[in-house]
Amino acid sequence: MSAILPPSESIWWKTPVGKEEIVWIIIALVWCLIMFAMMPIWHIYGKQNLSNEAYKTTPVQYEAKVNAMTKQHTVRTQSVGGVDIPVVAPPAGSDVYMLARLWSWYPMLELKKGETYRLHLSSLDWQHGFSLQPININLQIVPEYEMVTTITPDTTGEFTIVCNEYCGILHHTMIGKIYVTE
């Protein structure tokens, strides 16, 4: 009489199926197929997608790229705990580099609204989480991997990058900045 006894049919595959079960399975399967289809459809028609571009790198190589960009395009500095952090305004459409390390994001960026940039992200040490607030875009930053994603800011103001992958004792102090101007 129950699920804790052997089934009455010794070959369970031959037991009959009730009507609501069949109807429900069909409805649920259709919904599952729709959910699957939404992902490729969004790649075609949607504007927010994940990057498919990434490279193996090393902390030394990556830091060199960040420093090269910073040297060329720094427009001002901002003091953080007595240290001057460069604010970099790279040209629209260019490659923009940002690195994560214990426990800061470097450098700060100044971008133009409506322009598209190729944003590169990597870590010099442990894993970190790029969480752009209050927009709420979240990416995993993995050391030795350089993620490249295009990004088009469509709002202006001051935006904060929170680290949302636990990275040790000062994890909660690790925030960075992106400024978007007209």
Interface with another protein by CB under 8 A: which range of 60-68, 69-77, 90-98, 154-162?
154-162
Query: Which residue in 76, 77, 168, 181 binds another protein (CB under 8 A)?
Result: 168
| 166 near another protein, rule: CB under 8 A | yes
Q: Which residues pair with 111 in a beta bridge?
A: 180
Query: Which residue in 58, 61, 77, 155 binds another protein (CB under 8 A)?
Result: 155
Cβ at position 12, least distance to another protein in Å: 4
Q: Which residues of 95-129 are buried (b: 16+ CB within 10 A; e: fewer)?
A: ebbbbbbbbbbbbbbbbbeeeebbbbbbbbebebb
Interface with another protein by CB under 8 A: which range of 68-76, 88-96, 151-159?
151-159
Query: Which residue in 44, 60, 136, 182 binds another protein (CB under 8 A)?
Result: 136
| 92 near another protein, rule: CB under 8 A | no
Exposed/middle/buried for residue 26 (C-beta within 10 Å: 0-12, 13-18, 19+): exposed
Residues 14-53 close enough to bind another protein by CB under 8 A: 14-21, 23-25, 27-29, 31-33, 35-36, 38-40, 42-43, 46-52
**What's the number of CA atoms in the CB half-sphere (13 Å) around residue 61?**
11
- From CA 109, how far away is CA 124, in angstroms rounded? 18
